[in-house]
Amino acid sequence: MNCRPGDLAIIIPCPDDKPCDLENIGLIVEVGQKAFLADMDPHWWCKAIGGAKAACRVSENDPPIYLSEFAFPDRALRPIRGEPHADRSTETTETRRTEEAC
């Protein structure tokens, strides 16, 4: 998992994005609680920061509705924590110890 509750995060592009998802790239959100698993893909409840709203669609052909609170997949979020980003989901404990020792 990339995020934790309370994180600020930025929405990034994902390889399997639908065209309707691309409108949200770069949006800054506050990460809330876990929302649900869709096809084993963890989602978080998110709140857009600064009055922004995310474009959401019921289906790909529907016009967008703009929401300030919405569920978004963890894979498309990168936390903003003031530390260098590393995708920790595929690392082992030994890899982390080696990095921290350097």
Predicted TM-score (pTM) above 0.75: no
- Going by C-beta distance under 8 Å and a sequence separation of 6 or more, which residues neighbour residue 18? 60
User: pLDDT at position 102, please?
Assistant: 47
Neighbours of 46 (CB within 10 A): 26
Q: What does each of the 102 residues of the chain score in pLDDT, given as a tens digit?
A: 889 999 999 999 887 766 667 788 899 999 999 988 767 788 999 999 988 888 887 777 888 889 899 988 898 999 998 766 555 555 555 544 545 554
User: pLDDT at position 11, please?
Assistant: 92
In angstroms, what CA-CA distances link 85 with 9, 77, 100? 12, 12, 14
